[in-house]
Amino acid sequence: MLIFTAEDEELEDKRNIFSLHALNQSLERFIRDKFALKNYWVIAEITKAQEKNGHHYLELADSKDGKRVAEMSANMWFSTFNRVDNQLNGELRTIFKHGNKVLINVRIEFHPIYGLKLNILDVDPTITYGELEKQKKETIERLKKEGLYNLQQELKLPAIIKKVALIGSQNTSGYRDFLSELLENRIYTNFKVKEFSVSVQGDRAAKEVIKAIIDAQAYNVDVIVIVRGGGSKMDLNVFNGYEIAKTIAESRIPIITGIGHETDDVVADLVANKYEITPTAVAKFLYVRAGVFRNDLQTAFDSVLKISQQLIAANKDEFTHTSKYLVHYTQNLIREHNNLIKDSIHQLHIGVTELIESERSKLELNLSKVGNNAKNTIALKKSTELNSRLDMIHLLSINSIERSKIGLNNLAELLMLLNPEELLKKGYTISTINNVDLVNYDGELKDATLKTLSSQHLITSKIIDVKNHE
């Protein structure tokens, strides 16, 4: 029941009309009287969270059957936040995140200007942790349903891992511990590391880790290693996300995780090809694997060498006996074959000599026949064809001489026709200027001295006028 006093009334009539200030003051007194000394444990979902000057301001909501049924603002003052945060080992900021369910101890307060609010006095993280576990289980079931959960187990790790893609935050001790352990141990240090620096907590962490996993697959590496130092459940919750787990599962390169926690496994560990408890443990796994492989090779080599020596020793006597037998047997074979070769050479020599003599006799007989045939042929040709050929040669010679005479006479007549003296006798003349034929002279004609040659005279004249002949 609300109680109003006469002093609070600014207006009063039969309808009991009050000012807003009076109403709010009455509500403030009522809530202070009824609720000021009582605290309540409330479960709600955080829909908005912000920090200002160390104070934390939350928007809370409650839903039923997927519908929002209640909303209210809450705040936690600086001193209270520090006290509770210390009790929770620094996890309170991570608990106060959008989407988290929280169990909070509150006191109801009403302010005439700011209205009804909840003042948070304490936080019980069990509800939040339980919600995280629920989400984690849901993520695992989804991965199994989609056939992603065991994909990484189908990839085989190389016998010796040398090229590593490292994903983590360079400014963290876990990242530095991994590199120090990997590159400064006494067993094996011949590693090549391609580094991808990312955030491992906060709002950007999930997207940056996913991008780094995708980018790392473009390089020639044996494994992808994801490291993160120790932290609380809330700090590590980013590695329970479905998208990170899905990206790890679908990687075509084996992924090893070293996310620093002691008891619980994050989903990223469960879908990876292999996981270790800390970044240092991952480094140790890599160099110990290389060392074991090297020792196995050395052991196998020593075993092969020992067995080989034993086999050689066991078969040495038999080898010596066989060697001596082979030497003796080979020498006998060589002697036998030498005798056979000598006999064959002797028989071959006799056969070749006889063949040469036989062929020589045949050749001499054939040469004699060829000589006689040639003599007979020459005599026959001489008696029958030689005279007729001589007559033909004589006749052809006369014909050739006559044709040559005719050609010479024609050339002589042509020469007479082309003789300049004959042309002059026929009335033609030759005109020159400076011993250059008038037709070929290209100098000035006027006033030039012209020499004209006829069959009987050489006339010298001077050109006084020139007209072009068309």
| 43: nearest Cα among 60, 58, 66 | 60
Q: Which residues, including other chains, have CB under 8 Å from residue 287's CB and lie 6 or more apart?
A: 181, 182, 185, 187, 188, 189, 191
Q: Tell me the per-residue pLDDT of 350-376, one tens digit each, with 9 for 90 and over.
A: 888 888 888 888 888 888 888 888 888
Answer whether residue 451 shows pLDDT above 70.
Answer: yes
Phi, psi of 442 (to 5 degrees): -120, 15
Q: Tell me the per-residue pLDDT of 64-103, one tens digit each, with 9 for 90 and over.
A: 877 888 888 889 999 999 998 888 777 788 788 877 888 8
> What is the rounded average pLDDT of the residues 236-242?
85
| 240: nearest Cα among 206, 276, 290 | 206
Specify which residues 354 forms β-bridges with: none
| 79: nearest Cα among 103, 95, 55, 50 | 55
Look at strands 223-228 and 255-259 and give their pairing.
Answer: parallel
pLDDT of residue 10: 47
Strand order in the sheet with 274-276: 192-197, 163-168, 223-228, 255-259, 274-276
pLDDT of residue 338: 84
Q: Which residues, including other chains, have CB under 8 Å from residue 453's CB and lie 6 or more apart?
A: 424, 429, 430, 431, 432, 459
Where are the alpha helices (H) located in 385-449, listed in sequence order?
Answer: 386-418, 420-425
Strand order in the sheet with 449-453: 436-437, 430-433, 449-453, 458-462
Contact by Cβ (8 Å): 429, 454: yes
Letter for the amino acid at 259? Answer: I
* pLDDT confidence bin for 195, thresholds 50/70/90: very high
Q: Which residue has the higher pLDDT, 246 or 395?
A: 246
What pTM was estimated for this model as a whole?
Answer: 0.49
Phi, psi of 104 (to 5 degrees): -125, 145
Specify which residues 178 forms β-bridges with: none
How far apart are alpha carbons 172 and 227 in whole angstroms?
10
| 192: nearest Cα among 170, 163, 219 | 163
